[in-house]
Amino acid sequence: MRVSSTNLSIHAFADTDDFGRKLARLVHAPFSLIARRTFPDGESLVRVIGKPSRGAVLVRSLHDPNAKFVELMLAADALRRAGTRKITLVAPYLGYMRQDTVFQPGEPISQRVIGEWLGHTFDRVLTLEAHLHRTKALADVFPGCQAVSIPSAPILAAWLGKGKTSTLLVGPDEESEPWVRSIGRLSGLSWVVGRKKRQGDTQVRIDLPHGIEAKRAVIIDDIASSGGTIATTARALRKLGVRWIDVAVVHAIFAPRALYRIRQAGVRHVVSCNTIPHPTNAISCIPLFAEKL
Ligand code: R5P
């Protein structure tokens, strides 16, 4: 592991405390929490504790993001006032990336709005496996800011392990194809992707390719939110005779009842990367961020 310069300090909000502390240990940088409190009128106040370095890293995972964005802006201002010159936002999960086009007349392109907002506040943004489908690169989302979406395929492939040739990797939709292909290449496993049609916030239709003969499958998805995509994919696999179905996701949003829905569909084990604190976290992405710092 590369050792960072002493010009780096790591600052995290309490909801990303564990991630921030481990990251600080890996890069041998001082760590401190950003203190926050809410006034009776609902406004937030944040405070940087201690003296930040010239290069500060602010760590916060951006699931359930609305209030977090305002506090990030406040924390960035506080860091600069305390002497920081360059701020890197480490957002292990970066919200608002899915609305990357106007799906229905009258909607915004949320990805662009949030990207411009954060891009003007931070010098660098690092995340894991940003949901980029119609946008080519994360740099296109953050104008004037160095932005990197770290690929998750190597850590997922390592978790899958080599030599389990009887296991089939299954991506639920065409959008997952480049990513699932790359996990397949790294792990040596065969893979397929389905076709997905979204019918509502929690309802999807999944069509899988014909000719699946595997008895064991691992469904791979970047985000599990309502759990609808994974549960529907699992049911489709079971109809095709697949008996053992596990799931590996990058970002474990898991809205209420999502895991229940997934288990009801016959899934055995669910694992996730630790971008969002969740009981399914089993794959650490912190070393990947440490390397980038
Ligand atoms: C969509 O394109 C993503 O890759 C995920 O499949 C989707 O966000 C999962 O959402 P849900 O769990 O609500 O079906």
pLDDT number for residue 162: 61
Name the residue with the closest Cα to ligand 1, atom 9.
Answer: 224
Which of 183, 223, 250 has most ligand 1 atoms within 8 Å of its beta carbon, as the pocket-test mutant? 223
Using the atom order of ligand 1, give the atom closest to the CA of residue 229: 14
- Who lines ligand 1 at CB under 6 A? 172-173, 175, 204, 221-229
Name the residue with the closest Cα to ligand 1, atom 8.
Answer: 223
Which of 129, 135, 225, 235 has most ligand 1 atoms within 8 Å of its beta carbon, as the pocket-test mutant? 225
pLDDT number for residue 163: 58
Name the residue with the closest Cα to ligand 1, atom 1.
Answer: 223
pLDDT number for residue 1: 37
Using the atom order of ligand 1, give the atom closest to the CA of residue 222: 4
Give the chain as a 3 state SS string: CCCCCCCEEEEECHHHHHHHHHHHHHHCCCEEEEEEEECCCCCEEEEECCCCCCEEEEECCCCCCHHHHHHHHHHHHHHHHCCCCEEEEECCCCCCCCCCCCCCCCCCCHHHHHHHHHHHHCCEEEEECCCCCCCCCHHHCCCCCEEEEECCHHHHHHHHCCCCCCEEEEECCHHHHHHHHHHHHHHCCEEEECEEEECCCCCEEEECCCCCCCCEEEEEEEEECCCHHHHHHHHHHHHCCCCEEEEEEEEECCCCCHHHHHHHCCCCCEEEECCCCCCCEEECCHHHHHHHC
Spell out, as residue ranges, where the chain has pLDDT lower than 70: 1-6, 162-164
Predicted model pTM? 0.92
Say how many Å lie between the CA of residue 88 and the centre of ligand 1.
Answer: 28
pLDDT number for residue 6: 61
Which of 221, 232, 247, 270 has most ligand 1 atoms within 8 Å of its beta carbon, as the pocket-test mutant? 221
Question: CB–CB of 230/249 below 8 Å?
Answer: yes
> Residue for token digits 């392109």?
109
Q: Which residues are catalytic?
A: 196
Say how many Å lie between the CA of residue 196 and the centre of ligand 1.
Answer: 10
Say how many Å lie between the CA of residue 204 and the centre of ligand 1.
Answer: 9
